[in-house]
């Protein structure tokens, strides 16, 4: 077995930061979706419920974009 330097398996700091940023955005979107659902359930007004459904749809679209971006994070950092 050959010697390996201590930095051999160290992950790229930039990639780790990008991964953390993407995770933070994904968590924020999940929290926003939950809040929008609760707001929509808390009212009987059709207009408000429809607006909340629109908000939830946009949050879902943003989350899909985040997931696509996360594919560009190098596999080494995962």
- Dump pLDDT digits (tens) for 41-66: 887 888 888 888 889 898 999 888 88
Rounded CA-CA distance 69/78 in Å is 14
What percent of the chain is predicted at pLDDT more than 70? 78
pLDDT for the residue numbered 78: 47
Q: Which residue did the predictor score with more confidence, 40 or 30?
A: 30
Rounded CA-CA distance 9/11 in Å is 6
pLDDT for the residue numbered 77: 46
Counting Cα atoms < 13 Å in the Cβ hemisphere of 25 gives 18
> In the numeric block, which tokens belong to residue 52?
């909340």
Rounded CA-CA distance 60/32 in Å is 10
């Amino acid at each position: 077995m050959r010697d390996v330097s201590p930095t051999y398996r160290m992950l790229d700091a930039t990639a780790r930061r990008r991964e953390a940023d993407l995770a933070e955005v994904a968590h924020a979107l999940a929290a926003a979706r939950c809040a929008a659902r609760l707001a929509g359930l808390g009212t009987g007004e059709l207009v408000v419920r429809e607006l909340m459904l629109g908000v939830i749809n946009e949050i879902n679209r943003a989350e899909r974009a985040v997931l696509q971006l996360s594919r560009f994070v190098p596999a080494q950092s995962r």
